[in-house]
Amino acid sequence: MRLRKKIEKKEIDFSRLPTHIAFIMDGNGRWAKKRGMPRTFGHKIGAESLEVVIRHARKLGIKVVSFFAFSTENWNRPKDEVDEIFRIARNLIISKKESFLKSNMRLMVIGEREKLPEDLQKEIIDCEEVTKNNTGLIINIALNYGGRSEIIGAINKLLADGVKSIDEKGFKNYLQTRDIPDPDLVIRTSGEQRLSNFMMYECAYSELYFPKTHWPDFREKELEDAIIEFQSRDRRFGAIKG
């Protein structure tokens, strides 16, 4: 008897898409090193992946995408590398503003923004302002962001407002992510299996996915694979299966 292997091609179920996908873009340095290139080259190509992922997420019908671009700990990197990441961020915001507008996309930036270079802060404010009424894909970029710092910031605001007690819904309003739903899926590339202080409060019930791919190689197919994997998970939010 001849055994025939049935190869099942899994496809995305568009009726069960994750609403919000968050990306921890890891592996730029290793990707560049493997090619004998400087780490900053990895960030440059990583920025291309970010653009590809935004375009494809929009096409698939995802509502919110978040990207961890610079953590509060990343200041410990060589100054040249830090400057280059900010330069890439600024260029990206300037060059994509028109296309965000045309495609009904909205930019928002979370993190301790007041410590970012002033020219970058200015471009962020401008792009957020001109895209604020757009109703399509929300692009949330975390720059100089730390999850614990976001929570502490929220608590300090609560104290300043004289709030004596609060529930989860009320607390959400004090977070920088107040306007967006919590991530359904968190993707960290390059095989590391940590959240590294990324949206600690918001990711309480997110599905986590850790592909081995380095971020500069994360493109359309990798995004689709992640969504298919997400759809194979059994999300119970602490309940039992009915």
Instruction: Assess whether 119 carries a catalytic annotation.
Output: no
Residue 57 vs 92, nearer CB to ligand FPP: 92
Smallest gap from residue 147 Cβ to ligand FPP (A): 15
12 Rama sector, left if φ>0, alpha if ψ -120 to 50, beta otherwise: beta
Identify the active-site residue in 26, 28, 144, 182: 26
Smallest gap from residue 140 Cβ to ligand FPP (A): 11
Q: Which residues contribute to the site for ligand FPP (CB under 6 A)?
A: 25-30, 39, 43, 46-47, 50, 69, 74, 85, 88-89, 92, 141
Q: Residue 196 gets which letter from DSSP? A: T
Rounded to 5 degrees, φ, ψ at 107 are: -100, 135
Smallest gap from residue 204 Cβ to ligand FPP (A): 24
The answer to whether the CB of 86 falls within 8 A of the CB of 116 is yes
Residue 74 vs 121, nearer CB to ligand FPP: 74
User: Could you tell me whether strands 64-71 and 20-24 are parallel, antiparallel, or unpaired per DSSP bridges?
Assistant: parallel
Residue 74 vs 134, nearer CB to ligand FPP: 74
Cross-strand partners of 143: 70
Q: Return the ∠ at Cα 221 (arms to 186 and 13), rounded to 5°.
A: 70
Residue indicated by tokens 């100054």: 79
Identify the active-site residue in 13, 28, 74, 173: 74
Smallest gap from residue 88 Cβ to ligand FPP (A): 5
Q: Determine the residue with CB nearest ligand FPP.
A: 29
Residue 47 vs 175, nearer CB to ligand FPP: 47
Dihedral sign, CA of 100, 129, 113, 117? positive
Instruction: Assess whether 26 carries a catalytic annotation.
Output: yes
Q: Give which of 5, 7, 18 is closest to 228, Cα–Cα.
A: 18
Q: Known catalytic residues?
A: 26, 74
